[in-house]
Amino acid sequence: MSPAMQPDDPGAEQPFVSHLIELRDRLIRMSIAIFVVFLALFPFANEIYTFVAAPLMAQLPEGNTMIATQVAAPFLTPFKLALIAAVFLSMPFLLYQFWGFVAPGLYKHEKRLATPLLISSIFLFYIGVAFAYFLVFPLIFAFLSASTPDGVAMMTDISAYLDFVLALFFAFGIAFEIPIATILLVAVGITTPADLVRMRPYVIVGAFVVGMLLTPPDVISQTLLAVPMWLLFELGIVFSKVLVRKRANDTDEDPDPDASDSASSRAPSTPDGPIGGSTMGRVTPRPQTREIGRDLDPHFDDPDRWQPLSESEMEAELDLIEADEILDAPRHFGPDATQTTQTAIPAGAPAINSVEEKIRRANRLRELGSTFAARTVLYEVLEEGDADQRRVARNILNQLDEA
């Protein structure tokens, strides 16, 4: 791209072509890395194949060997294995390049979650491959060798064997990623640890079905894949509970005193006056609003007492807040309104009568430092808005959690 096409502001959004150029550069680096590793491994291709074939060779009857049924198989099969091994060994660098391309578009909290998951997913995949080679292969090949009919010589083709072990490597590597998938589902809000616990019987049955489809038609290999999948699912539930508990603790922590002082200096306060004309933003809530706040906002009361509301309880609490707003509206929007109220919402501004206005109101309250009031308005948006509006509300709530 020529210098004239570069944006003046380095923080400005880059044009689509620049993203394509960056993607091309990273793909070239990935290809070079794979090629370099392949050049280093190719002279040892036959030794690598001998190492991969060792579990089968150890179980073959005396005098039996592997065979090549195609003319070019003695050369192409080790060549194929060396290339796949190069990709396998280059995976950390490949994922690093992928992360470098994706990371600038992520939020800060998404980066904090994605970095450990990315690293752990690499190690889990390697552990799955090692589990298949050192534990599963000896048991599978011992079973298959023992079940060979009399009069049949077990002499496996080298190409067929390579395809077989690569399929198992891939199956076990992906199966060991189950904890990562479980944590991601909980992190993005698709499910909860409690829902995963209720789904346990279906997951166990599904693990055996997947084991049946991805492994040879014998009970041993199916069980050796299904049982680790189930145990890894249980491990994912444990880590997802830790993630949820950590988020709750982060939310329940007291705000920074300096931030509180700064927020109080920005937000106008009166003994009994609202912020922006609503009882939800009042600095000193009335007893009824305080009781509602204890359930809606974990900052409001002892964190050990806070429990998430059910849908019916949430509707009842929001109805109480709405009724409280209606009772206070004449006093806060009347001609005797205080200067604080007039500053928060200009004179003649319409009342909050739509979800979009409530989203704007929540942003305004957040700027004024009234976190509790902003959360309460966002809870109403989650109750009344459509899918896009609820997504915006959840993003603002996440930003409030990180503040």
Task: Name the least confident of 228-242, 268-282, 295-309.
Answer: 268-282
- pLDDT tens per residue across span 38-73: 999 999 999 999 999 999 998 888 878 899 888 899
- pLDDT tens per residue across span 81-90: 999 999 999 9
- pLDDT tens per residue across span 11-45: 445 567 888 888 899 999 999 999 999 999 999 99
Q: Give yes or no for a contact between 333 and 277, defined as CB atoms under 8 angstroms apart.
A: yes
The amino acid that residue 184 corresponds to is: L
Backbone phi and psi for residue 157, each to the nearest 5 degrees, phi listed first: -70, 140
101 has pLDDT over 70: yes
Q: Where are the domains of the chain?
A: 257-402
Of 139, 146, 147, the residue nearest 227 (C-alpha): 139
User: 3-class SS at 293?
Assistant: helix
The amino acid that residue 212 corresponds to is: M
Segment 127-136 shows an average pLDDT of 91
Cβ neighbours for 161, distance < 8 A, ≥ 6 positions apart: 53, 56, 66
Q: What is the pLDDT of residue 159?
A: 92
Q: What is the pLDDT of residue 342?
A: 37
How many other C-beta atoms can be found within 10 angstroms of the C-beta atom of residue 18? 14
Q: Give yes or no for a contact between 241 and 247, defined as CB atoms under 8 angstroms apart.
A: no
Q: Give yes or no for a contact between 256 and 371, defined as CB atoms under 8 angstroms apart.
A: no
